[in-house]
């Protein structure tokens, strides 16, 4: 009896010791899952417009339950390859979505990810991803992940021993999730309810269900190109009989990342862009123009200015292969014998510009390859692009419209360092701001050379200079012109118009928008036209401007001006 009893005690101690060891092996895995849940929660919490403690705790709890359902089955595999694959994909997904949100203040969707794969790769290849400490959250669980990789065999064996308990945990997690969704449904904010009002409640879907669920809902709404095209909202019909005389030439300069505030920004008592500042004082100047900077990135600028049409929120409008641009002002000009040409210091395949520009109505489009230029940093230097534009314009018949898109000032604003360096900004503490100031010092010089040439060699010519979007800089040393309201991101750029008779005017009360560009250019040309637009003629300072449509709502122009100007 005694030996048998001693044996039982010994085996019991062995079992307890093994269980104690198993529990010790569980601790790193448990804390890895907790940190992973925290990472996902912080990621989702950061990109919702007005997070609360309650929303954070709700998201953490739901994510934890989902992680139980996901990780327990993964741990049952002997091979660690499944865990590695899942972790890497998850980290890349979080990083890509955060980087996209930091720049566009909107959400990356499946359709965008597929269509903009090349553009994203180009941006990454030229180190154009925004720098922000929040991106480091993808690393918070990395040390424990590495540790688990070395001890994975123990974790996997432990799961097998706890298989019945694991199944029970998964079943319990599924039950709690179902009960939670039932509760949400009863009170009218389940996934079914939110999806019905997707446009207005996208951020609530992300807050409660995450970006992946939001992606699938968006994809189901975006898979039909014809349906997307039907979503465009054209404005009311606007027409003009034209005016007598020779139609005016139009020269457009679209400046990459030129924010409203850079025009009047001084450093050590001197303007960073002295030439642009002088133009703003001596010509027509609209300091705050609402930019449409959505799923199509910079290309949304051309899309909205040329077509006087708000681009789609969650799909790059310029990538619509079957859209024929019926509202393009270029087609009106072409019908009145204008020569139309575009120049861009990047490759034409970027955002499918080569194809889209032809359908918009450009007679010619020279990308950097057609110009015989090479990447210096990312894209060709602006001075080289302007030099090509000058040479090409000399051979165009009049009247003409040229549309030049710059590239030097693309974020992270390091391109100019390859060929221009001003010591004036060496003591600017923030590196991004320092590079931004240096870049626009160069851009200002490039625009000065180009504009001076145009004014000297072409009479009866209107010159339009505007930015495409803000630079994503909000620091003590430089604060861009933007704000967030109604869960929407508003960003503003400047517009300078040089007229043949050198009219002077500065708008001090109302914001303009990209939708105003097309009717203004058509009025400047003097040709008869008919166009659908919610824009106004910015050359008529007495025209009563209607409200500006933006992401499903109409905004008062005076309100937008006061809001961004900080009045």
Average pLDDT over residues 538-550: 93
Q: Residue 215: pLDDT above 90? A: no
Note the pLDDT tens digit of each residue in 173-201: 999 999 988 988 888 888 888 887 776 67
CA atoms of 146 and 477, how far apart (whole Å): 39
pLDDT of residue 28: 82
Q: Which whole-number Å values give the CA distances from 517 to 74, 449, 563, in the listed order?
A: 55, 24, 22
Tell me: pLDDT of 16 over 80. Answer: no
Q: Is the model's pLDDT at 10 over the cut of 50?
A: no
* CB-based contact 388:446 (threshold 8 Å): no
**Is pLDDT of 53 > 90?**
no
Q: What is the pLDDT of residue 14?
A: 43
Of 1 and 439, the structure prediction assigns the larger pLDDT to 439
Q: Is 490 left (phi over 0), alpha (psi -120 to 50) or beta?
A: beta
Kindly report, residue by residue over 507-533, the tens digit of the pLDDT.
999 999 999 999 999 999 999 999 999
- Report all structural domains of the chain as residue ranges with CATH numbers, in order of start: 2-223 (no CATH), 243-540 (3.40.720.10)
> Looking at the predicted structure, is the pLDDT value of residue 121 above 80?
no
Q: Which of 503, 502, 541, 499 is nearest to 521 (CA)?
A: 499
Q: How far apart are CA 49 and CA 482, in angstroms?
A: 15
The reported pLDDT for the residue numbered 114 is 59
Percent of the chain past pLDDT 90, that is, above it, reads: 60
Lowest pLDDT segment from 206-215, 233-242, 387-396, 493-502: 206-215
Instruction: Judge whether 469 is annotated as a binding position.
Output: yes
Mean pLDDT of the chain: 88
- Give pLDDT tens digits for 336-377: 999 999 999 998 887 789 899 999 999 999 999 999 999 998
Bigger pLDDT: 470 vs 169:
470
**369, 371, 374, 380 alpha-carbon torsion, rounded to 10°:** -110
Whether residue 412 is preceded by a cis peptide bond, meaning omega within 30 degrees of 0, is: yes
pTM over the 0.95 mark: no
Q: Which of 387, 401, 533 is nearest to 449 (CA)?
A: 387
Average pLDDT rounded to a whole number, residues 56-84: 89
Q: What is the mean pLDDT of residues 529-547?
A: 95
- Band (pLDDT 50/70/90 cuts) for residue 284 is very high
Q: Give the model's pLDDT for residue 17.
A: 47
562 appears as a binding residue in the annotation: no
Mean pLDDT in residue range 73-84: 88
pLDDT category, 105, cuts 50, 70, 90?
low
- Could you tell me the end-to-end alpha-carbon distance of the chain, in angstroms, rounded to an integer? 92
Active-site positions read 298
Cβ distance 43 to 94 under 8 Å?
Answer: yes
The whole-number average pLDDT for the span 446-464 is: 97
Instruction: Could you list the beta-strand ranges (E) of 83-175.
Output: none
Tens of pLDDT, residue by residue over 301-315, are 999 999 999 999 888
DSSP alpha helix (H) spans, 504-545:
517-525
Whether 461 has a binding-site annotation, put simply, is no
Fill in the DSSP letter of residue 224: -
- Residue 190 pLDDT: 86
CA–CA dist 443, 468 (Å, integer): 14
Dihedral sign for Cα 52, 53, 58, 63, please.
Answer: positive
Looking at per-residue confidence, does 97 or 158 come out higher? Answer: 97
């Amino acid at each position: 009896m005694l030996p048998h009893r001693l044996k039982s005690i010994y085996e019991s101690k062995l079992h307890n010791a093994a269980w104690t060891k198993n529990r010790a092996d569980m601790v790193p895995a448990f804390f890895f899952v907790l940190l992973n849940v925290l990472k996902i929660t912080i990621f989702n919490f950061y990109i919702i417009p007005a997070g609360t403690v309650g929303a954070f705790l709700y998201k953490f709890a739901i994510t934890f339950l989902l992680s139980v359902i996901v990780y327990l089955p993964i741990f049952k595999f002997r091979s660690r390859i499944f865990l590695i694959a899942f972790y890497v994909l998850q980290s890349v997904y979080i990083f890509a979505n955060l980087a996209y949100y930091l720049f566009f203040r909107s959400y990356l969707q499946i359709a965008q990810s597929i269509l903009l794969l090349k553009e994203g790769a180009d941006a990454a290849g030229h180190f154009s991803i925004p720098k922000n400490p929040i991106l480091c959250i993808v690393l918070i669980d990395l040390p424990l992940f590495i540790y688990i990789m070395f001890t994975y065999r123990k974790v996997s064996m432990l799961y097998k021993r706890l298989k019945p308990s694991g199944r029970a945990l998964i079943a319990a997690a599924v039950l709690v999730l179902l009960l939670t969704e039932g509760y949400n449904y009863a009170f009218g904010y389940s996934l079914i309810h939110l999806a019905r009002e997707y446009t207005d409640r996208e951020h609530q879907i992300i807050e409660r269900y995450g970006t992946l669920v939001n992606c699938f809902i968006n994809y189901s709404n975006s898979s039909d190109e014809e349906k997307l095209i039907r979503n465009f909202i054209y404005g009311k019909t606007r027409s003009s009989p034209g005016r007598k005389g020779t139609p005016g030439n139009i020269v457009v300069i679209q400046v990459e990342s030129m924010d409203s505030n850079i025009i009047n920004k001084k450093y050590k008592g001197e303007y960073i862009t002295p030439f642009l500042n002088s133009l703003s004082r001596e010509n027509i100047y609209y300091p705050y123009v609402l930019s449409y900077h959505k799923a199509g990135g910079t290309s949304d600028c051309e899309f909205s200015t040329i077509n006087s049409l708000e681009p789609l929120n969650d799909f790059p409008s310029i990538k619509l292969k079957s859209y024929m641009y019926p509202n393009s002002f270029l087609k009106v000009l072409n019908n009145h014998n204008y020569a139309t040409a575009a120049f861009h210091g990047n490759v034409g395949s970027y955002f499918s510009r080569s194809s889209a520009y032809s359908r918009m109505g450009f007679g010619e489009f020279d990308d950097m390859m057609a110009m015989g230029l090479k990447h210096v940093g990312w894209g060709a230097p602006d001075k080289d692009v302007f030099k090509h534009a000058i040479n090409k314009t000399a051979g165009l018949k009049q009247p003409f419209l040229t549309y030049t898109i710059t590239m030097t000032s693309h974020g992270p604003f390091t391109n100019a360092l390859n060929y221009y360096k001003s010591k004036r900004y060496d003591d600017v503490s923030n590196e991004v701001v320092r590079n931004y100031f240096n870049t626009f010092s160069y851009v200002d010089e490039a625009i000065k050379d180009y504009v001076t040439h145009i004014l000297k060699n072409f009479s009866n010519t209107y010159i339009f200079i505007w930015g495409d979007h803000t630079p994503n800089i909000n620091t003590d040393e430089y604060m861009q012109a933007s704000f967030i309201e109604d869960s929407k991101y508003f960003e503003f750029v400047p517009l300078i118009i040089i007229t043949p008779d050198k009219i002077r005017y500065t708008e001090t009360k109302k914001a303009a928008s990209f939708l105003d560009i097309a009717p203004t250019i058509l009025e400047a040309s003097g040709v008869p036209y008919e166009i659908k637009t919610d824009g106004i003629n910015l050359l008529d300072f007495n025209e009563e401007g209607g409200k500006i449509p933006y992401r499903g709502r109409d905004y008062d122009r005076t309100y937008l001006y006061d809001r961004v100007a900080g009045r």
